[in-house]
Amino acid sequence: MVKRKTALKLRQAHRYLGLFIGIQFIMWTISGMYFSWTDLDEIHGDHFKKEFVENPSFSNLQWPGKILPVTPVSSLELKDIGGEAFYLINGNSLINPRTGENRQGITQEEALKIAKKHMREDLQVAGIKLIKETGDHHEYRSGALPAYVISYKEPTDLKAYVSVQDATFRSVRHRDWRWFDFLWMTHTMDYEGRDDFNNLVLRIFSLMGLITVLSGFVLWYISSPSVRKLQKRF
């Protein structure tokens, strides 16, 4: 049998461990419930986008090899910028396929046209601005910069991001996505990048949680009348 003093210390350790990590346990539970009851398509903002995006057809375009005879091409994409065709070469150069002109990014008006092409027609633009840098906790922290952020009137927290350099419609951010992002941060305990499951804080709390559960089993074992009766029999 475990000595009374040892059992008391074990109970104290179990109590304080439970108190210390209890809040994190609650956050794990709440975030897990939220993830299991939400539609990821809605979190990504798909219900704010057009179901089908129509791409225009272009003709009389020069072949990239003719426009850039000495430039090595590792990737090539045909981009529609406000109804005009452009080649996106190597993911960073926008080339006019008719003139061979290399343009430096897109304008606000062109960004609005790109966003309009992807977003629902009933959404009204409230404003647009250019961002050149983002912090670790910004909702566009992993996107290509600089970028235009287009805000919409209803819902007031809806924003769309279009990158300047490659004229790509990047992402949609809204209230539910921000709640998801916050809860995901508390779930992974990665308070910088959100997605690192190997961070030290998560490892420590996971280990402490395991110790708390195991100490609870030990306390049940040493204090259970049924266990004592079985021990007396054998």
Q: Is the peptide bond before 155 cis (omega within 30 degrees of 0)?
A: yes
The Cα–Cα gap between 2 and 85 comes to 79
* Cβ atoms of residues 33 and 217 within 8 Å: no
Q: How confident is the model at residue 129 (pLDDT cuts 50, 70, 90)?
A: very high
Where is pLDDT greater, at 161 or 64? 161
Q: Is the pLDDT of residue 29 over 70?
A: yes
The Cα–Cα gap between 142 and 61 comes to 33
Query: Could you report the per-residue pLDDT of 140-170, keeping only the tens digit for each?
Result: 987 889 999 999 998 879 999 999 999 999 9
In this prediction, residues 124-143 reach a mean pLDDT of: 91
* Cβ atoms of residues 161 and 148 within 8 Å: yes
Long-range contacts made by residues 48-56, C-beta under 8 angstroms, separation at least 24? 48/119, 48/120, 48/123, 48/158, 48/172, 48/174, 49/118, 49/119, 49/120, 49/172, 50/117, 50/118, 50/119, 50/120, 50/121, 53/117, 53/118, 54/117, 55/80, 56/80, 56/83
Q: Please tell me the predicted confidence (pLDDT) of residue 88.
A: 92
Q: Please tell me the predicted confidence (pLDDT) of residue 11.
A: 76
Most confident of 18-22, 65-69, 107-111, 193-197: 107-111
Q: Which helix (H) or strand (E) holds 93?
A: strand 93-95
Mean pLDDT of the chain: 87
Long-range contacts made by residues 50-54, C-beta under 8 angstroms, separation at least 24? 50/117, 50/118, 50/119, 50/120, 50/121, 53/117, 53/118, 54/117
Q: Is the pLDDT of residue 190 over 90?
A: no
Q: 174 to each of 21, 44, 157, how far by Cα in Å?
A: 31, 9, 5
Q: Please tell me the predicted confidence (pLDDT) of residue 231.
A: 66
Q: Please tell me the predicted confidence (pLDDT) of residue 61.
A: 86
Q: Is the pLDDT of residue 2 over 60?
A: no
Q: How confident is the model at residue 228 (pLDDT cuts 50, 70, 90)?
A: low
Q: Please tell me the predicted confidence (pLDDT) of residue 10.
A: 74
The Cα–Cα gap between 44 and 57 comes to 28
Q: Please tell me the predicted confidence (pLDDT) of residue 31.
A: 92
Q: Please tell me the predicted confidence (pLDDT) of residue 210.
A: 85
Q: How confident is the model at residue 212 (pLDDT cuts 50, 70, 90)?
A: confident
Where is pLDDT greater, at 217 or 43? 43
